[in-house]
Structure 1
């Protein structure tokens, strides 16, 4: 089951747009709902009014579950909702009861966040499996969290396999839609599901987004300098990761080559 929530966890609507894209591109049907009662502050997440067939209708915030056939005989479920305001543990438990009824064994939560990253490089995608906290403790996030993190944690406690997937979006570009980020999440899901997902017109939209961002940067010297700094930082971090992945012997060889170069300067 793939879950995304509108609101604080959904910069540029990239995570929720991933669910909407899947629903639009594949055979899908609504199969479950969680009613809004007790979970929402209507001054924060307001109901909507719409007019259809000549009648006025009030649309209340709610959670919708979809059955998606992404390949012949291969189905995934999707959950989409505004982030609840109240009773998160109850809400997550209700979501997981539905997941259990659907024989779900793996819960994937999606999120998007603004960060210091350049639009000229591949957008960072952070993936965590089963609450794994390996790696440098100094690099682990500490701070406020949203409903995807809580759902991921409770699902892991309840024995589900879990994957948390977050894409970073350049914070200097504002809050409009970001097809590049949605496509990054879809590519991450393709890898996780071990099958290509239909990107539709996202590559074209992503190129347009990138071109608009580049034009914005060209019109602002201070912003251009800032983006150059982010590019340099990104490239240095990427080089460090590549060198670390080479293993001990290769790193030792790099050190020897650097020492030889420095001696040649003496």
Structure 2
């Protein structure tokens, strides 16, 4: 039996990469759930459909288009008496030309791990700089023209790597709803879980911003990790802006806002 066969060497290298990634991830988790100082969120726009109108929209973006995210986290943080008065500070990064790796269509664990490593390498390759990524979140926002017949791909946020991949509409009318999706994925990167069911309906009580409200419906706000406002037992709608969203108690516990 060859102890140092090519296959064994590949396995050892892969295990080494995974171990290094795990150690780095644990440092990121500690740095982003202490909440004694602001977390920087860098937003990198990407032309997701390759259209000229989308590129023109990206060219006109400014940091002001994302201030609603900062206001949402500041307001929510005050409700939980955080040390950091401004928990999140968004900045507009450079436009990225390359599309990130597409996540696997199945729930295969190995395929998901491999995709996660590829995404983190892609992020390293496409946003190289001298800043540490141990305490900042990178959102890669793929903008698309609105198409009524084709819904946007699912956005995601990874705690491992502090990376979010967002699919958004390249439209001024959608700017505020885009920030709702971004805030949701930012919270995924710091440990929050989804609070909606298989039909995208808020789960009671954790997916309700006001679970003790009487009458229960209609709710006035969306729990941010549910992403929708329950207006009846069987109907829900996406909030128009982050002014209609709140951080619920379970989410606050998951991200260490409640000890």
Structure having the higher helix fraction is 1
Structure number with the bigger relative contact order (C-alpha 8 A, sep ≥ 6) is: 1
Structure having the higher strand fraction is 1
| Structure with the greater alpha carbon radius of gyration | 1
